Structure 1
Amino acid sequence: MLAAAAPGTVYAPEADDVVQAELAAEAAAAVHEAQRNAARADELQALRELGTLGQTEPWDGDEAVRDELTRRAGGYIQADVDAWLARALAAHLGHYCDPAAREAATGLLTPPVLAHAALLAVLARLAPGAGVDELAADRLSTSEPEAAGALAAFLARCPVLSKVDRSH
């Protein structure tokens, strides 16, 4: 395009067909992603209302779906979805079985969700077979995420826990 332009012509991206095609493709991808997130949000909301959210495993992109649910319905759904994501992250369920997905989650999920997951993971190692409801990490992680994260880090360093890890 510049080779065929008259001397002194200033480049204008709005006149560049390649740039415009790339922008159109990016816009179409964003619309597709928004539609996918909306459909998944509908699905997760329905599962939550049926009481079966905990029986499903998270998919790649559910962190963005969490944001969509929060935008739609506010905190009352967010708390349930946050707890579900924390439990899945702690137990390496769904796409969180991939270490790269767990690493990516640290940049996508909020500190309370990450603290909740860390605390659940450590407590599950201390009390194998305990139900997540028995571990009582939900309220602490929601109300005091920094304290929950510090507690998880402390427990992970405890000699008792390292003995538990060696025995399994």
Structure 2
Amino acid sequence: MTHGEAVQALAGAEIDAHLERRHEETADDGGRRAAELAEGERIGRLLAVTRGPYDPDDDAVVQEELAAEAAAAVARDAEQRDAARASDRADQLQAWHDRGVLEETDPREGDEAARAELTRWASLYVQQDVDAWFAVALGAHRGHYVDPAAREAATALLPAPVLAQAALLSALTRLVPGAGAAELGFAARLTAAAPEAVADLAAFLTRVLPAESRG
């Protein structure tokens, strides 16, 4: 598009905008017309400077828009892949639970998203068992929770009752080293009944523990 062609197109757009105001077209059409007119004005100003044919490859605004669209497409693809992985992992956790081997495994990075997916369709019974699995692993620093950064991230990714149960289990195993999961099964029942009280109890026990055993 040359400068003259741009001016001619702009004039046509101005006429269309005038007719639009006369006939009071819909709001959506009005927004489209206004956008077309503004874009025509911008291209006209650009060609008034370059005096050459219009080339989108040389239009910084167009290139920025294309780059933004490409980045958004990449982000959408990544989000879809993450959702697919979370769904597959949720199916796996469900299968392990049904086979009675969930406790033999450890959480890995990204399992918090799988848990969130699982809560959308799993029964309450399964959810409670999976939450207890997370709490045990988090409290004992198992799986990817051996990394302090992963434990810190879990505070924003797991619900408060799971975090409370994990904190209680952690405090209890420091008070009674060697205590097994079977002995501490009451922690899950207490959490189900009164999660806020469990959080308070965990904080109290942590406070009275010797300093060297609080880590």
**2:193 maps to which residue?**
143
- Give the counterpart letter for 1:7 in structure 2: R
2:91 is matched by which residue type in structure 1? D
Alignment of structure 1 residues 117-136 onto 2, 5 Å? 117-135=166-184, 136=186
Structure with higher Rg: it is 2
Q: Which residue of 1 aligns with 2:57?
A: none
Q: Does 1:106 align with 2:106?
A: no
- Displacement of 1:151 in angstroms is 0.4
User: In the TM superposition, what whole-angstrom CA distance separates every residue of 1:55-78 from its partner, at most 9, and x where no partner exists?
Assistant: 111011111111111102142211
Write out aligned runs for 1:14-163 (5 A). 16-135=65-184, 136-158=186-208, 161-162=209-210
Q: Distance in 1 between matches of 2:96 and 2:192?
A: 22
Aligned mates of 2:175, 2:44 — CA distance in 1: 74
Aligned partner (choices 45, 50, 54) of residue 7 of structure 1: 45
Give RMSD over aligned pairs. 2.5
Provide runs of 4+ in structure 1 moved above 2 Å. 4-8, 163-166
In 2, Cα distance between equivalents of 1:154 and 1:84:
23
Query: 1:133 Cα deviation (Å)?
Result: 2.5
Mapped to 2, the partners of 1:23 and 1:48 lie a distance apart of 37
How many corresponding residue pairs? 159
Which 5+ residue runs of structure 1 have no aligned equivalent? none
Q: Is the 8 A contact 1:41 1:68 kept in 2?
A: yes
Q: Which residue of 1 aligns with 2:27?
A: none
How does the TM-score come out when normalised to structure 1? Answer: 0.86
Percent identical across equivalent pairs? 52
Q: Distance in 2 between matches of 1:59 and 1:163?
A: 29
Residues 90, 117 of structure 1: 8 Å contact kept: yes
Provide the rounded CA distance (Å) in 2 between the counterparts of 1:22 and 1:5: 24
Instruction: Give the TM-score normalised by structure 2.
Output: 0.68
Counterpart Cα distance in 1 of 2:165 and 2:87: 26
- Do the aligned partners of residues 113 and 17 (structure 1) sit closer, same or farther apart at CA in structure 2, a change above 3 Å counting? same
Counterparts of 1:28 and 1:133, CA distance in 2: 43
